[in-house]
Amino acid sequence: MRSFACDYIAGAHPEIIKRLTETNLEVLPGYTEDKYCMSATERIKKACQREDLEIFYLVGGTQTNQIVIDTMLANYEGVVAAKTGHVSIHEAGAIEFSGHKVIEIEGEKGKLSADKVDAYIKAFYNDENHEHMVFPGMVYISFPTEYGTLYSKNEMKEIHEVCKKYNIPLFVDGARLIYGLASYENDLSLKDLCDNCDVFYIGGTKAGTLCGEAVVFTNKNMPKHFLTQVKQHGALLAKGRLLGVQFDTMFTDDLYVNIGKWAIDKAEEVKEIFKRKGYKFLLDSPTNQQFIIMNNEKIKELEKEIGFSFWENYDENNTVVRFATSWSTTEDDIKELEKLI
Amino acid sequence: MRSFACDYIAGAHPEIIKRLTETNLEVLPGYTEDKYCMSATERIKKACQREDLEIFYLVGGTQTNQIVIDTMLANYEGVVAAKTGHVSIHEAGAIEFSGHKVIEIEGEKGKLSADKVDAYIKAFYNDENHEHMVFPGMVYISFPTEYGTLYSKNEMKEIHEVCKKYNIPLFVDGARLIYGLASYENDLSLKDLCDNCDVFYIGGTKAGTLCGEAVVFTNKNMPKHFLTQVKQHGALLAKGRLLGVQFDTMFTDDLYVNIGKWAIDKAEEVKEIFKRKGYKFLLDSPTNQQFIIMNNEKIKELEKEIGFSFWENYDENNTVVRFATSWSTTEDDIKELEKLI
Amino acid sequence: MRSFACDYIAGAHPEIIKRLTETNLEVLPGYTEDKYCMSATERIKKACQREDLEIFYLVGGTQTNQIVIDTMLANYEGVVAAKTGHVSIHEAGAIEFSGHKVIEIEGEKGKLSADKVDAYIKAFYNDENHEHMVFPGMVYISFPTEYGTLYSKNEMKEIHEVCKKYNIPLFVDGARLIYGLASYENDLSLKDLCDNCDVFYIGGTKAGTLCGEAVVFTNKNMPKHFLTQVKQHGALLAKGRLLGVQFDTMFTDDLYVNIGKWAIDKAEEVKEIFKRKGYKFLLDSPTNQQFIIMNNEKIKELEKEIGFSFWENYDENNTVVRFATSWSTTEDDIKELEKLI
Amino acid sequence: MRSFACDYIAGAHPEIIKRLTETNLEVLPGYTEDKYCMSATERIKKACQREDLEIFYLVGGTQTNQIVIDTMLANYEGVVAAKTGHVSIHEAGAIEFSGHKVIEIEGEKGKLSADKVDAYIKAFYNDENHEHMVFPGMVYISFPTEYGTLYSKNEMKEIHEVCKKYNIPLFVDGARLIYGLASYENDLSLKDLCDNCDVFYIGGTKAGTLCGEAVVFTNKNMPKHFLTQVKQHGALLAKGRLLGVQFDTMFTDDLYVNIGKWAIDKAEEVKEIFKRKGYKFLLDSPTNQQFIIMNNEKIKELEKEIGFSFWENYDENNTVVRFATSWSTTEDDIKELEKLI
């Protein structure tokens, strides 16, 4: 059955699986110290136009969020995030497991605003009892957000300014970064991202690798003995080559750019179809996830024919469902979808 | 300077310090296994009219909240609390330090409602992705709340019913329990409390002891090897007699009742005075903490003469301040206050 | 350069990389709920001759040890292990990170004995102060051990008897399980293992997969909401298919057996060569890791020509080095080694 | 019944309980910010002849060890301690609860030697795999040790030199510090202690207070936002005056010196009596705890008449028992003991 259920329904992009096969018998050192990790790092630096980046390869998104947050925060600090942030609700308490509070503040369509972040932190320091509270030690945003929306370059810069004012890092969760970069509405380059946050990651899992996230530290701020800390969190991959080869391939001949573009083009077609058929959207998403308000009976019928996913309840008769595209979305998938709705 | 800054500005109730002195030279075993802890336990059971209670003595409130929550929850569970709950904001992340999320939901005047708790948990289990979320494993409420308000017997019963429906415990933070019991508006007895929650504590620190909180498990549900777990949290007091003697005294000749009554009477007088002088209140508190909206200039002037505490900002020109009473509040304190405002 | 540095110097066994390629475009659900994980589970049950097993797929060894230990222990329990155990020294504190003490006791050649484990636990319960100590809540052993040695079926049974006496689980770290099973000296079958421990894992990473460890619970004792707890530890793989396909292939047509046999045959050849050339061994290892005492000058010379790894210092002039074999060891590797030493 | 069971069988030294009573009605701020805490701090600085100390007051010993270790170590660091150290075995895993490994090394009669510490750390850094291990981030010793023995000034200096070589702090657990200082064999002053370690604490609980330990940071190295971190560990005492008044009294008119002297004199008398009666000692302790090897039948008989405590099994027929003295030991206690043995 054809599926728009999520952006990780297939294996790896064929070019990646091919490179894994080609390099399979090479003798390589472990723990991400192989030449492919090194090459990937060089290519990412180039794509970012920044020579001074520090990069580490991890396996999954929740793991990456947990490790970045736990290793960059002091014990007494928590991370400020939108209530709808992945770290706030969909990581089974992975952040709290490592001892830190997620300080949830109201966002809009998945986004935090510089003003709200500033207001929260300002009020914190003005509170005479703040020494009895969790210190805001980092700001976490997602690009794109969990609702598919994007920060403009200027919006991100503003949030970063607030962070700099309070001397805390801005962390950008880039699980779906390539779709943000490829969006028709985006005005942020990889270099802009590097220049406007303190740490981010380039998602692999949702972008065409079998697994893997590349964490990028932008200010010579990789935590001390980071490899040891990754090991302590149970996250150091023995055959680091699995990550190295995949990211090296992603950043060869602009594969990550092309995957992003393909998925965004397909998402725009999906959006167009639903619009034409009169469906309403939860919000206007410029990336690869589209959130449609659908009648519950239509859902029951449609889910027999094509894959998509439950997002959240809307009202008694309607549910928000998600249709996602990726490198593996085909033109036939789109045609089939058009027929069915 | 006279002070209404909080309910722990003085040492212990004179009767308590007297008993500590009288018993000082007795040879007693440590770690709350002395005869005074045992006697206190018997007296508390009697005051609660429940023979089957299990009771343990700890030193402070945040410590007690951390230990009760951490030892009663499974790893994958969090505690549902009002956003304004002490565990949510004023414990410097003590709950997260032990690995658990505080699941903050909206309350009203410091109180949770059975409906909102039910709605949250119901939505949790209806969410197809809930296995990727923190399980609600306990409900935490304060009696009185951080805003001085009270749950009626019926309101507490309703919340307990919701907990029973989902098979999770209801935990009542009783840091200021004696003031709730003594309130003119209260309809809940110690026995009612035992019958309508799974664990609570009787606050000592804010009620007239030098330190100490008595945790009461109402359903033969004290966590296994609780003493060891208390030790592991760094909270087992070597000279447990310090807790035993104090609680034994509190529950002799109704001392806790009399302290509660005195403080409530004094709080009503404070309330009356402020009302008479035309002050507005943040809300109507029936317990020993009164929250007054006061002009910032008046505050500057008044704080030179008498003690009270900052609560929260109200608007540009006004601040919410707190006046608290306790066993140590004197009639002269009240007269002086009346003169000054 | 040819290498015996470890058993994870190459990618995946060619059959595995082939199956990953063949299944790459299939649309599959995530989080190890795909049909390949299910099929792998059925095949493992069959190989173990036990229908009642519960199996979960994780990514790496340290991660697996951390999760199994943390989710099976009560808060107040620690894990008993040999001082030389992987969890004791080579996991950067991953067990303590999750809040549990590794209770290190003396082993011999990497092995614990039933007598020593019994003596430790007996002394613990006889100690009048044991409520102030960490409760022994699990016994951890490795099969093969970190020194390549094996427990006989009877030795493992004896340790399991001790565990049953104290009602705590026996956990067998099987990072290199397939080499133990294939050893000429082994008398333990997969079924014997299932019958003589409470939980173990079948290592993939060191046995020919790109990554992956299959945790097997043998007594219907998989911790409650295990998927959620895995997620909380940052260890739930989104594209679970990566684990499913690999283990499904490993357990198809006895691939795991054949890989084990090949590596053991090669290890015996390595051993033979070193013996013939007069080298001394740190101990007699019957599995795929051989520990040779080598003169430091010889090491300097040899390491230019062939890969092997530092193990530990022996004396001023000599070092213990490790030569490991795997599916990727070739007959040419062996010939080259013979020439060089 | 008279008792030598431990040094915390009675309440507080009478002078302390008197001062608590005298100051009881004073209005004071909470959280150790009262004038008695400040005064105690000034007196301790004076007793230490060091103006630059930073001091914080906590409630109990295990709590203090947990907080000092957790707040001074980086995430990836553990604490090096003797196997017999209090943090190693008698704190129910409080150190691991906060995420850190206790790296246990062999001591002698409870003491670590500079050589062994140096050898361990040197070997750690020489190990090619040390990035996969727990970094030694602190050395913990007790003065006196858990076996009543003492480090000479020179021995402590040597250990401190090793710590400085590796740039890690030396932490001295002074739960029974006053008895070490008062020992006939001691050559270390409070100032020497300050100059030869990075952090230590002056035990109150075992020295005559109802509770309380004064943590002293000697190098302007109090961890950032220490009060918040104490709160996060559930250890911040609301009525900090309870600690302030007690330590202020201890350091007034040399009360701590006099208590130490008294207890040591009495311990020497106990030692003398046992020697005279032909008892053997586990080791020669120069402080207030004496470890006697006693026949099990004698123990059964004696424990009906006088209090003492089980220490450890010695052989089939004998047990090591502990007799401790303190400010509350009377001359009549000594006479009674002499009669009974």
pLDDT per residue over C32-74, tens digit each? 999 999 999 999 999 999 999 999 999 999 999 999 999 999 9
Half-sphere exposure (Cβ direction) of D272: Cα atoms closer than 13 Å: 9
Q: Count Cβ neighbours within 10 Å for each residue of D16-46 and write b for 16 or more, e otherwise.
A: bbebbbebbeeebbbbbebebbebbbebbbe
- Average pLDDT of span B194-210: 98
Residue located via tokens 């990069």: A55
In angstroms, the CA B122 to CA A313 distance is 12
Q: Decide if D157 contacts D117 (C-beta within 8 A).
A: no
Please check the confidence at residue A158 and state whether its pLDDT lies above 90.
Answer: yes
- Report chain B's mean pLDDT, rounded to a whole number: 97
Chain D residue nearest residue C127, CA to CA: D312
Best mutation target among D64, D232, D245, D322 (most B Cβ atoms within 10 Å) is D232
Tell me how far apart the alpha carbons of residues A124 and A135 are, in angstroms, rounded to a whole number.
8
pLDDT band at C1 (very low <50, low <70, confident <90, very high): confident
pLDDT above 90: residue D1: no
pLDDT score, position B218: 98
List chains adjacent to chain C, taking adjacency as at least 3 C-beta pairs closer than 8 Å: A, B, D
Confidence label for B87 from pLDDT (cuts 50, 70 and 90) = very high
Q: Which of A93, A131, A312 sits opposite B101 (nearest CB)?
A: A93
On the question of pLDDT at A1 being above 90, the answer is no
Mean pLDDT (chain A, rounded) = 97
Q: Give the whole-angstrom CA distance, residue C329 versus residue C2.
A: 9
Give the B-side interface with A, CB within 8 Å.
75-76, 78, 89-93, 96-97, 99-102, 104, 123, 126-129, 131-134, 310, 312-313
The amino acid present at D301, given as its one-letter code, is: E
Residue D148 has pLDDT above 90, yes or no: yes
Mean pLDDT, chain C, rounded, equals 97
Nearest residue of chain C to residue B71 (CA atoms):
C75
Q: Give the nearest partner residue to B96 out of A96, A129, A310, using CB atoms.
A: A96
pLDDT at residue C213 greater than cutoff 90: yes
Residue to test with chain D: of A32, A76, A222, A231, most D Cβ within 10 A: A76
Phi/psi class of residue A247: alpha, beta or left (left: φ > 0; alpha: ψ in -120 to 50)?
Answer: alpha
Q: Cα C320 vs. chain centroid, distance in angstroms?
A: 21
| Angstrom distance (rounded) from CA B319 to CA C287 | 74
pLDDT for the residue B176: 98
Question: For residue D229, which residues of chain A lie inside 8 Å, CB to CB?
Answer: 75-76
Nearest to A69 by CA among A144, A160, A173: A173
Residue closest to A63 by CA, chosen among A31, A86, A79? A86
Over range B115-134, report the average pLDDT. 96
Looking at residue A263, what is its pLDDT? 98
Nearest CB among A131, A135, A229 relative to D76 is that of A229
Nearest to A76 among D76, D131, D228 (CB): D228
Residue D235 has pLDDT above 90, yes or no: yes
Are the beta carbons of D90 and C129 separated by less than 8 Å?
yes
Neighbours of chain B (3+ CB pairs under 8 A): A, C, D
pLDDT tens readout for residues B254-305: 999 999 999 999 999 999 999 999 999 999 999 999 999 999 999 999 999 9
Report the pLDDT value the prediction gives residue C126, as an integer from 0 to 100. 92
User: Which one, of C2, C28, C4, C1, lies nearest residue C263 by Cα?
Assistant: C4
Mean per-residue pLDDT of chain D? 97
pLDDT of residue D227: 98
Q: What is the mean pLDDT of residues C179-186?
A: 98
Q: Tell me: the pLDDT tens digits for A301-335?
A: 999 999 999 999 899 999 999 999 999 999 999 99
Chain C CB contacts of D133 under 8 Å are 89-90, 92
CB B68 within 8 A of CB B201: yes
CA-based nearest distance D308→chain C, Å: 13
What letter does residue C222 receive in the DSSP assignment? P
pLDDT digits 0-9 by tens, D271-328: 999 999 999 999 999 999 999 999 999 999 999 999 999 999 899 999 999 999 999 9
Of A89, A106, A130, A321, which to mutate for an interface test with B (greatest number of B Cβ within 10 Å)?
Answer: A89
Query: Looking at residue B196, what is its pLDDT?
Result: 98
Flag if B131 and C71 touch (Cβ within 8 Å): no
Mutation target for C interface from B73, B131, B233: give the one with most C CBs within 10 A.
Answer: B131
% of chain B exceeding 90 in pLDDT: 99
pLDDT given at position B1: 84
Place of tokens 């990889």: A190
pLDDT digits 0-9 by tens, B8-18: 999 999 999 99
The answer to whether the Cβ–Cβ distance between A100 and B100 falls below 8 Å is: no
Q: Is ipTM strictly over 0.95?
A: yes
pLDDT of B269: 98
What chain D residue is nearest to A233 in terms of C-alpha separation?
A: D76
C-alpha pair distances (Å), B311 with each of B90, B146, C100: 12, 11, 40
Q: Give the number of A-C residue pairs with CB atoms closer than 8 Å.
A: 160
Q: Does residue C314 surpass a pLDDT of 90?
A: yes
- Out of A71, A74, A231, whose CB is closest to D132? A231
CA–CA separation, C67 vs C240, rounded Å? 17
DSSP for A62-95, please give it. HHHHHHHHHHHS-TTEEEEEETTSHHHHSSTTHH
| CB-defined contacts A:B, below 8 A | 61
